[in-house]
Amino acid sequence: MMKGVKVNRRSFLKMLGWGGAGTALAGCDMPTTVTLEEGKEEVVSYLSPEEYVIPGVGVWYASTCTQCDAGCGLHGRVREGRALKLEGNPDSPLNNGKSCMMGQSGVQTHYNPDRVTSPMMRKGNSLQAVSWDEAMAELGKQVSSVSGDRFAFVSGSLSGHQSVLTSELLSKVGSKNHFAYETINTSIWQAVSKDLLGDAMPVIRYDKAGVILSFGADFLATWMSPVHNAGEYAKFRQGERGVLVQVEPKMTLTGGNADLWVPAAPGTEGVLALGIANIIVSRGWNKVDVPASVKTELAQYDLNKVEKITGIQGSKIKRIASLLSERGPALVLAGESTVGQAKGYEAASAVMLLNIIMGSVGTTIEPSVSFPENALAAKQGNTSSLKAFAQGLSDSKYDVVFFYNSNPIYSAPEALGVESGLDKVKFKVALTMFPDETALKADLVLPLNSAIEDWGTHVAAYQGGSATMSLQQPLMEPLYKETKGFGDIMIALLSKLDEGYKQFPDYYAYLRTSVKNMPAELTGGALASDESFWNGLLQKGVLKTTGVTGSLTATLAVAKVGTPTDHLDQTSLTLIPSARLGLWDGRHANIPWLQEAPDQISKVVWDSWAEMHPHTAAEMNLKNGDIVKIESKSGSIETQVAITKAIHRGAISVPMGQGHKEYGRYAKQTGANSLSILDPVFDHKTGELATHATQVKVSKTRKNQILIKMGGSDVQMGRSFVRTVSADQLRRTEGGA
């Protein structure tokens, strides 16, 4: 060919280009990938484009993630008018440019093939597509004729201007029935913080802690603000490495990262906390003075008793107590498996007592910082509102009910009778993106824009020490002509009830005006009416301001945790409907990436599974993949067994999120819904659903299937992929403690 000529293919082509002969060769099918020159092999991959191919440049816009209510800031990559990739916004003090798997999947919520694409109204027995005019006319008629107390609005957590508009609608209708409902919440922790520390949402300084003792708080995956927490956790582990001890009956992601994982008997965490407190005060390790009366009360939780109730070796309990004193500053947290009990409030109070006596209040637990505008603050969802709503339904209290970002027919325990109760509601409106269980039961379905197509403002409930409002802006034009923004619908509806709203053609106009009128204390001194302020907000995506700092005053008291007896029943197991970072409370079951992502601990994909301890499984002669029937007082489900040592012998865990009857092709008929069979047990103090208080009978069926999970081996077989070093060796070389 061209042997001996010192010219390579690229410069040859360039030369041709200069000569104007490039076009003449364009049609020739020259072998473009291999040249053998000077005995050198040079293969050009199509992976790296040719030099004359210019890679497309994406444009990044700032917005806010709405996959859970943590309110992380986003950057979205847009090319040719399409949103392609979401990444964390480095300007957001919540997530500092990072994101979780649910945040990454925002694009699959947006481009999901099962979205509702036009308004639908119930005619006869079926939902039929109607025009927006017809839908809004009917909606206006229903809303203006309903009497105030018979109107209810059911939503997930809400904040920012969406929350303002919802409150406006409720007040115009004359109703107080707003039910903000979230299965995954931190209500009991907040109630206890409020009562014992005087501040519901104190800032948790993981980075300042030397030892974290977490009673079931899965702060790396589902608790408070996971991405923010993970960033703080990394600081906690680096430098002088902090120690993490996790107490819980079923290993969560946080438990998987613990230095010591302690499976106390389900429902006995409160007793364990008081037992640890007793050791601390009796040895004088407490950092804060403890009155004699408290010491006497704690004395009843002596080691033998606590050992017997919790099933944890006394030596281990003593070790945990000494860790708290030696490796401080301490931080003690309480999460779902601890507080999801009939006496959950007491259990969380017992945990908080440890924080108080170890002097964490003021060191690892700092006063809350909140955004200085209450109207924009988060209305956090909880399950006590679900209970109240279900009660209202059974009392036939409502004629018109709105559902937004909430799907109670799926996620409420069947025993609450939400589905049958809804039959008594004359007009049900679902503002939704997807044909979920609740939407398909509605009389009017209004298709919403996705988060990537909509405007909004978000003020996260947990701000981690900052005071930030995050702006959500559309990254692209709506995919479908017939979908609308939530705010747009609210503005349209409000204009029917109040002339004042007619000045706003849409939600954008309302938002723009609201931001223009923001007082200086919200804008950090900038002039909000200035055009550049708005442009800056669009660019940055976040508005940081000086927050209002709360104050902490600790109250020392010993909670009456009692002696839990439920678990003593040897014939039943405690059902743990554990929450997953991924499918969350079931709202992400329609995202294929998240269905195919192996569960972090069990590594199972695409289905439900029941985690059981090998000992428990052996007693029942069960092996992986056997289908079992799990029966509570309130119902039963069937699913496959996944045997794991990462669970207490007396527990069976079926993660929540699967088992949808509707909700699109990826979610429908996949797995079983463990939330549906929960007994209607509530925390007696806060009214929150006791998610970990359901006892179940497990029986073998004759069916089995292959348990589909990632990876063939659960141990490394000596191949040392993951090598482990002990921390005391590390410390010795660092010359530290």
Name residues contacting another protein, limited to 626-655 (CB under 8 A).
645-646
Please choose, out of 20-28, 104-112, 296-304, 550-558, the segment that lies near another protein by the rule CB under 8 A: 104-112
Nearer to another protein, 142 or 600 (CB): 600
Neighbours of 374 (CB within 10 A): 9
Rounded to the nearest 10°, the torsion over CA 242, 245, 250, 253 is 0
For residue 5, the minimal CB distance to another protein (Å) is: 19
221 binds another protein per the rule CB under 8 A: yes
Please choose, out of 61-69, 144-152, 273-281, 725-733, the segment that lies near another protein by the rule CB under 8 A: 725-733
Please choose, out of 132-140, 167-175, 222-230, 365-373, the segment that lies near another protein by the rule CB under 8 A: 222-230
Decide: residue 94, CB within 10 A, 0-12 exposed, 13-18 middle, 19+ buried.
Answer: buried
Please choose, out of 163-171, 243-251, 334-342, 695-703, the segment that lies near another protein by the rule CB under 8 A: 243-251
User: What does the alpha-carbon distance between residue 488 and residue 492 come to, in Å, rounded to a whole number?
Assistant: 6
User: What does the alpha-carbon distance between residue 721 and residue 737 come to, in Å, rounded to a whole number?
Assistant: 29
Nearer to another protein, 603 or 661 (CB): 603
* Sole binder of another protein in the list 14, 78, 111, 314 (CB under 8 A): 111
Largest Cα–Cα separation, the chain: 98
User: What does the alpha-carbon distance between residue 693 and residue 681 come to, in Å, rounded to a whole number?
Assistant: 7
Question: What is the spatial order of strands in the sheet that 243-247 belongs to?
Answer: 260-262, 243-247, 211-215, 330-334
* Sole binder of another protein in the list 197, 212, 251, 651 (CB under 8 A): 251
727 binds another protein per the rule CB under 8 A: yes
479 binds another protein per the rule CB under 8 A: yes
For residue 317, the minimal CB distance to another protein (Å) is: 13
| b (16+ CB within 10 A) / e for 230-240 | bbbbeebeeee
* Sole binder of another protein in the list 3, 46, 532, 621 (CB under 8 A): 46
Tokens of 616: 């428990």
200 binds another protein per the rule CB under 8 A: no
Neighbours of 594 (CB within 10 A): 24
612 binds another protein per the rule CB under 8 A: no
698 binds another protein per the rule CB under 8 A: no
623 binds another protein per the rule CB under 8 A: no
In 3D, which of 70, 348, 341 has the Cα closest to residue 190? 348
Q: Are strands 34-37 and 548-549 parallel, antiparallel or unpaired?
A: unpaired
Using the 8-state DSSP alphabet, how is residue 585 labeled?
T
For residue 95, the minimal CB distance to another protein (Å) is: 8
258 binds another protein per the rule CB under 8 A: yes
Angle between helices 160-173 and 486-497 (to 10 degrees): 30
Handedness of CA 192, 187, 161, 535 (dihedral sign): positive
Report DSSP letters for 464-497, one per residue: TT--EEEEE--SS--SSTT-B-HHHHHHHHHHHH
* Sole binder of another protein in the list 9, 241, 496, 661 (CB under 8 A): 241
Span 557-596, contacts to another protein by CB under 8 A? 581-582, 592-596
Beta bridge partners of 639: 628
Contact 73, 91 (CB under 8 A): yes
User: What does the alpha-carbon distance between residue 231 and residue 98 come to, in Å, rounded to a whole number?
Assistant: 8
CA–centroid distance for 609 within its chain: 20
263 binds another protein per the rule CB under 8 A: yes
CA–centroid distance for 668 within its chain: 21
Residue whose structure tokens are 């995506």: 541
Quick note: the x/- pattern for another protein over 654-673, rule CB under 8 A, is --------------------
Tokens of 233: 């956790």
Quick note: the x/- pattern for another protein over 591-610, rule CB under 8 A, is -xxxxxxx-xx-x-xxx---
For residue 85, the minimal CB distance to another protein (Å) is: 5
For residue 594, the minimal CB distance to another protein (Å) is: 7
Nearer to another protein, 94 or 492 (CB): 94
323 binds another protein per the rule CB under 8 A: yes
Please choose, out of 7-15, 48-56, 518-526, 534-542, the segment that lies near another protein by the rule CB under 8 A: 48-56
49 binds another protein per the rule CB under 8 A: yes
31 binds another protein per the rule CB under 8 A: no
Nearer to another protein, 68 or 100 (CB): 100
Quick note: the x/- pattern for another protein over 700-719, rule CB under 8 A, is ------x-x-xx-xxxxxx-
Nearer to another protein, 160 or 263 (CB): 263
Nearer to another protein, 100 or 350 (CB): 100
CA atoms within 13 A on the CB side of 409: 21
User: What does the alpha-carbon distance between residue 342 and residue 115 come to, in Å, rounded to a whole number?
Assistant: 39
Nearer to another protein, 35 or 190 (CB): 35
Please choose, out of 50-58, 268-276, 282-290, 545-553, the segment that lies near another protein by the rule CB under 8 A: 50-58
3-state secondary structure of 214: strand
For residue 371, the minimal CB distance to another protein (Å) is: 23
Question: What ranges in 502-591 are assigned the alpha helix state H?
Answer: 507-516, 520-523, 531-540
Nearer to another protein, 98 or 161 (CB): 98
Which strand (E) or helix (H) includes residue 541?
Answer: none
User: What does the alpha-carbon distance between residue 302 and residue 677 come to, in Å, rounded to a whole number?
Assistant: 36
287 binds another protein per the rule CB under 8 A: no
* Sole binder of another protein in the list 5, 30, 47, 292 (CB under 8 A): 47
